[in-house]
Copies of this chain bind each other. A is one copy, B any other.
Amino acid sequence: MIKYSNGKSYSPKQIKKSDDKKTVSLKRHLSSANRGMDLEGDINSSNEYYKEHDLCLITKRPTPINVVKVDYSKGAIITNAYFEKQSTTDYNGVYKGRYIDFEAKQTKSKTSFPLANISKHQIAHLKHVLEHGGIAFFIIEFVTKDEVYLLDAKYVIEFYENGNRKSIPYETFLSVGHKIKRGYAPRLDYLPIVEKIYVKN
């Protein structure tokens, strides 16, 4: 909890339960320093919003960790473990019965999204999702532009497998991507895009 000079205090819980405009702007102010650094947080809170409003159910896969040693004398404390590479994607879930699967990434580049931080395993996973009729995409943030796009996985797979390029040009996002609207709740409203491009048509 943060105490302010006016004697009022701020707590995240307070914000969650209140629609008060002042509280909202306070929260935005507090988080503006991290603008562009918290794509994951924005997606998680949007998913929470969608769940609470019965719009869809998307969950984040836990980070895979390889546990080497557990100390049971203190009630199962893990004392030796290491992070494993995610072989699938960060998010999946269900919308109107359909399977949804996506990965979220950020780039500081202004001109293109580098493919270096997408693994072969993730591309293989997304190809399988598409094969089985699932909805697969990326949510990619151009941090310095403060712009977030939804891009169907097939384009990323194409660029990844083409081999001539090591990045996807920004122009591709403008032409075949879909800009996601930022807001307060949900913070990244990507579901209307999913509805429009995958479900409605």
Taking Cβ atoms with an 8 Å cutoff, the residues of A that contact B are 51, 54, 56-57, 59, 61-65, 67, 76-83, 88, 92-101, 125, 128-129, 131-134
Contact = CB atoms under 8 A, between A and B. Distances in A.
A126 to B, nearest CB: 10
A134 B54 CA distance: 13
A132 B94 contact: yes
B88 A78 contact: no
Nearest to A99: B94
8 contacts: A62-B62, A76-B83, A77-B82, A78-B80, A78-B81, A79-B79, A94-B129, A94-B132
Given A63-B62, A77-B82, A97 B134 contact: yes
A94 B128 CA distance: 9
**Which 4 pairs between the two chains have the least Cβ-Cβ distance?**
A97-B133, A94-B99, A62-B64, A94-B134
A83 B94 contact: no
B61 A132 contact: no
A61 B59 CA distance: 10
A109 to B, nearest CB: 25
A76 B78 CA distance: 14
A134 B94 CA distance: 6
B93 A82 contact: no
B78 A65 contact: yes
Contacts of A83: 76, 78
A131 to B, nearest CB: 6
